[in-house]
Structure 1
Amino acid sequence: MTVQIKYCGCQSEEDYKLLIETKADLIGFIFAESRREVDPKNVNRWIEKYGKPKKLVGVFQNATLEKIKEVVNTVPIDIIQCHGTESIHQLKEIRDHCNKKIYKALPFSENIIKEIATYGKVSDALIIDSVSQGQFGGTGIPFSWKEVPNMMRKAEQIGITCFIAGGIKPDNVSELMRLHPHGIDLSGGIEENGKKSVQKIETLERMIMR
């Protein structure tokens, strides 16, 4: 199985121009309060200028259905990623009203296998991310990867894809690849001075493709 690559936190025209030339399968834009938050109108301009050769993901956190629909009507995203405490009911509502694939981010915990079984029923893919000092996502710190094989098996049982996120970098991605994740999700690990780095991306992709 070929690992899927998602590069998230695309926050400028320069980032977008770089990322569409990489081996990524998915490019993510954050439409939630964050230092990487982007304006949907700007994103749409980049897409119109450079095309859309990759699948695009819109990342939201406890957003209203109206907010999500507004972005979906502006940006031709393929996937809605919910990165907050959205309930099963809310995920179903978003899927039904927006007619997009749904990815759900889950914080790693001792209950993660049960969470995968629960949220996998209404999601096309799950993204397991780390928690540090109460912050979920964007921590730059990996969680313990020893449970990755068990998480992949559970996801396969219910027929969904499972991505690993949080603190993945060129210097540790080989360790993760040995555990055979379905996908990896990176943002800060491929940045230099707040911008996506072609050198880090090329190094990381060499490690993955070996």
Structure 2
Amino acid sequence: MSNKVEVKICGNQSLQDVQNVVELGFDYVGFVFAKSKRRVHPSEVKKWIKNIPEEIQTVGVFVNPTLEDLQNFLEEVPLDIVQLHGKETPSFVQEVVQNLPQRVWKALHYHEHILEEMERFKDVDGFVIDSSVKGQFGGTGKTFNWDNVREYQAFADEKQKKLFIAGGINPENVHDLLQKEISGIDLASGVEVNSQKNKSLLRLLKERVEKTHVS
């Protein structure tokens, strides 16, 4: 595992959000295209991502799409990564991996047998482990039990997959999570004020991630 902790800032809703994330040099900028309070229109995102430097990767979050939906969408909006955040089956995800040039991540909602589920989706390029909240696919602002995240990281390292922990992470609690030596974190509400990405919170997050990773 690399010592560098990769950070994805998801649920960006405006050009200003994107500019703040890019200016501070985070690794991934994410957009939600599924039904959500953070849903954005593809035509807007297409404009926003034109000037994102190559080293910052763009991620689109989709819930239960068809392969055709994804192919048509990606012809219009050239994203780097597709994140499947719904109840997609392992066979469907495998089909997506085989038919799209983009990397594919699978979001899994935390439960006691998450390692078994990761095994079922081992064809993907990466995993996002998120909190499980009834009726919501993500963006809950709630953490899950982090006691076993080292095991999830070990599985991801063994399979050479990316791993991101999501759900309720913010600048105040990020240090506790990073002590568990995980390789990636995924935030949305934890760096927002009034539904907008807040530059002060983003900067504080960056400082704390870098400080923890250096120590």
> Is 1:92–2:103 an aligned residue pair?
no
Structure 1, unaligned stretches of length 5 or more? none
Q: Which residue of 2 aligns with 1:30?
A: 32
Contact 1:72–1:98 (8 Å) recurs in 2: no
Structure 1 residue 160 corresponds to structure 2 residue 161:
yes
SS at match of 1:184: strand
Counterpart of 1:67? 69
Please tell me the residue identity of whatever aligns with 2:188: S
Deviation readout 1:20-78 (Å, 9 max, x if unpaired): 11231111111111111111111111223x34441001110001222211221111111
**Equivalent of 2:43, from 38, 41, 44?**
41
* 8 Å Cα contact 1:117-1:158 kept in structure 2: no
* Counterpart residue number, 2:6: 4
Aligned-partner residue type, residue 122 of structure 1 = D
Q: 62-71 or 165-174: which moved more?
A: 62-71
Output the CA distance in 2 between the equivalents of 1:112 and 1:51: 34
Structure 1 Cα separation of the partners of residues 49 and 151 of structure 2: 38
Q: Deviation per CA, 1:152-203: give whole Å up to 9, x if none.
A: 1121122212110000001000000100111000001010001000000011
Is 1:181 equivalent to 2:178 in the alignment?
no
8 Å contact 1:5–1:23 — kept in the other structure?
no
Q: Distance in 2 between matches of 1:55 and 1:132?
A: 28
Per the alignment, residue 126 of structure 2 pairs with 125
Alpha-carbon separation, structure 2, partners of 1:70 and 1:24: 28
Question: Which residue identity does 1:201 align to in structure 2?
Answer: L
Q: Percent identity?
A: 38
Segments of structure 2 that go 5 or more residues without pairing to the other structure are none
Q: Report the count of equivalent residues.
A: 208
Q: Which moved more, 1:191-200 or 1:94-103?
A: 94-103
Structure 1 residue 134 displacement after superposition: 4.1
Give me the whole-angstrom Cα distance separating, in 2, the residues matched to 1:135 and 1:95.
25
Q: What is the aligned-residue RMSD (CA, Å)? A: 1.2
3-state secondary structure, aligned to 2:128: strand
CA distance in 2, matches of 1:95, 1:153: 23
Q: Which residue identity lines up with residue 4 of structure 1 in the other structure?
A: E
Aligned equivalents of 1:205, 1:2: Cα separation in 2: 12
Question: Normalization by structure 2: what TM-score?
Answer: 0.93
Tell me the residue number matched to 1:58: 60
- 2: CA distance, partners of 1:68 / 1:83: 13
TM-score of the two chains, using structure 1 as the length reference: 0.95
Q: Distance in 2 between matches of 1:97 and 1:159?
A: 21
In the other structure, the counterpart of 1:137 is 138
Tell me, in whole angstroms, the C-alpha distance in 2 between the residues paired with 1:16 and 1:157: 33
What amino acid is the match of 1:160? Answer: K
